[in-house]
Amino acid sequence: MADAGRVLITGATGGAGGGVVAAFLEAGWRVAGVSRHDPPDEPAGVSWVRADLADAEAAQRMVADAVAALGGLDALVCLAGGYSSAPFDELGWADFEKQIATSLRPTVESVLAALPELRQSGDGAIVTIGAQTALKPGRNAGPYAAAKAAVATWSLSLAAGLKSSGVRVNCVLPGTLNTGANRESMPDAKRDAWVEPRELGNLIVYLCSPDSRPLTGTAIPIG
């Protein structure tokens, strides 16, 4: 790894993105953040990359832009995704396709595009984001839970396949995140066990750092 770790964070402007980006910056990492839209002006010190991770070409351009800004990659954090519910009695295959496109494909395409750079790092790390909903899904969360379960399962397979290369892969399974969108959609919910984005970020920084070696192939529930 370079003296200052170099991390690419997808979904960096999403609900959890601010806390995760802040955790990496405070830890001294050089950060490339990905946004689907015009990047924000803050925080300072982030190299912003605009990308919609709908296919392999978009992911490859994203990685190329990040490498141009940072000089290489030591870690990839896959935050891109999004929750949607689907009424059980109205469920259709399109609901599954939507979640595969939203919560699974961006992770797969990002990892595959970043792997060549991460292999060169000497201490590459990948952190993916599943969800506790994948373990205990509600009635209307089937497609989302299935997509997040696929993220977690593929992450374990990926860790096994990359173990000899030195690239480590771990998946975090958050409970409900304390984001503006969740507070708005669940105004009366008890928030005692909700996960703060910065707490999530601190864990992800640890999983990307050399201090967490030789940890790989784990699925870690929090919250």
More reliable by pLDDT, 79 or 186: 79
| pLDDT band with cut points at 50, 70 and 90 for residue 214 | very high
- The confidence score (pLDDT) of residue 83 equals 82
Q: What is the mean pLDDT of residues 183-190?
A: 67
Return mean pLDDT, the chain.
91
Q: How far apart are CA 200 and CA 172, in angstroms?
A: 9
Q: What is the mean pLDDT of residues 62-86?
A: 94
Peptide linkage before 43 cis (omega within 30 of 0): yes
Q: What is the pLDDT of residues 81-128, one digit of tens each?
A: 888 888 899 999 999 999 999 999 999 999 999 999 999 998 999 999
For the chain, which domains are there?
6-222 (3.40.50.720)
| pLDDT band with cut points at 50, 70 and 90 for residue 49 | very high
Q: What is the pLDDT of residues 158-170, one digit of tens each?
A: 999 999 999 999 9
Q: What is the mean pLDDT of residues 28-46?
A: 90
| pLDDT band with cut points at 50, 70 and 90 for residue 19 | very high
Q: How far apart are CA 207 and CA 212, in angstroms?
A: 6
- The confidence score (pLDDT) of residue 208 equals 97
Closest CA to 51 of 88, 12, 101: 12
More reliable by pLDDT, 1 or 49: 49
| pLDDT band with cut points at 50, 70 and 90 for residue 180 | low
Q: What is the mean pLDDT of residues 146-159?
A: 96
Residues in CB range of 11: below 8 A, 6 or more apart: 17, 34, 78, 79, 80, 81, 106
pTM of the model: 0.92
- Burial pattern 1-33, b for ≥16 Cβ within 10 A else e, equals beeebbbbbbbbbbbbbbbbbbbbbebebbbbb
